[in-house]
Amino acid sequence: MSATDISPSRADGAAGRAWSVVRMHVANPVPTLVFPWVITLAIFGINVAIWSMVVSAAGGVENLEADAFQYNGGISWIVVFMMITAVQAMNQAFRFALGFSVTRHDFFIGSASYFVLLSLVYSAGLTVIAGVERATDGWGLRAAFFAPWGLVDQPLGTVGLVYLAALLLAFFLGAAVASVWVRWKTYGLYSFFLGVAVVVVGGLWVVTTTNSWADLWSFLTSTSPAALAGWTAPVTVLCGVIGYLFMRRATPRA
């Protein structure tokens, strides 16, 4: 906050204006600060019920293989959810914010701050629960829900880093794709997905013709989760820059 702030409700500086946009995104905190935790707990609860049923049928945890409950992807829903949150923010919240005399610059900086803050909140929260999961021997069931498969044997710091990287990537990828829609609508998305298809197929072509599949797999399997999380950073930053540049000239047309 800048020193020129007169009262908490006034936001004169650039930082203050961005903060107003952050607050706007959580003017109704339920969809992004409450709802995801409730759904996560519900998914977790259903998993616990299934595990307990299996354990009961097996006559005890010790009768099951040690990693029986460790290949779970339930938590990944939250990454998808956050991507949708970013799309909605760029679309609806953008048009709302411009109607409230916010500049595109302030809107994007504020929204990006909001994405970073949400990523921090959720990666920290999920990591803490993953710590509890480990401390309780997988909820007494040798289960891994909050730090499943690839993360089972990783330190908690890495678990947090992977969550943070995944959430940031989801937010900014969602924002970048949505910015194409907001700026160029239907034809923009056609062109975008055509471009993505060309790049993906071209990439596959290059990997195949250079006989690099083995190298690619060995890179993916030999690189630690922490390093893979680090590799998302340039992509995330690129998406952020693209989103900003596209939104700078976007208009709130219906």
Q: Quote the least distance from Cβ 228 to other proteins, whole Å.
A: 33
58 and 66 Cβ atoms separated by less than 8 Å? no
Find the largest Cα–Cα distance for the chain.
67
Q: Which is nearer to other proteins, 107 or 163 (CB)?
A: 107
With a CB cutoff of 8 Å and minimum separation 6, the contacts of 147 are 130, 133, 134, 154, 156, 159
Task: Round to whole Å and give the CA distance between 200 and 217.
Answer: 17
Q: Which is nearer to other proteins, 105 or 134 (CB)?
A: 105
Q: Quote the least distance from Cβ 105 to other proteins, whole Å.
A: 6
The angle subtended at Cα 78 by Cα 55 and Cα 92, nearest 5°, is 155
What residues line the site for other proteins (CB under 8 A)? 9-11, 14, 17, 20, 23-24, 27-28, 30-31, 88, 92-93, 95-96, 98-106, 248-249, 251-252, 254
Task: Round to whole Å and give the CA distance between 254 and 252.
Answer: 7
Q: Which is nearer to other proteins, 218 or 251 (CB)?
A: 251
Q: Quote the least distance from Cβ 32 to other proteins, whole Å.
A: 8
DSSP per residue, 152-171: TTS-HHHHHHHHHHHHHHHH
Of 22, 120, 118, 94, nearest to 243 by C-alpha is 94
Q: Which is nearer to other proteins, 90 or 141 (CB)?
A: 90
Q: Which is nearer to other proteins, 28 or 63 (CB)?
A: 28
Q: Quote the least distance from Cβ 84 to other proteins, whole Å.
A: 11
Q: Quote the least distance from Cβ 174 to other proteins, whole Å.
A: 15
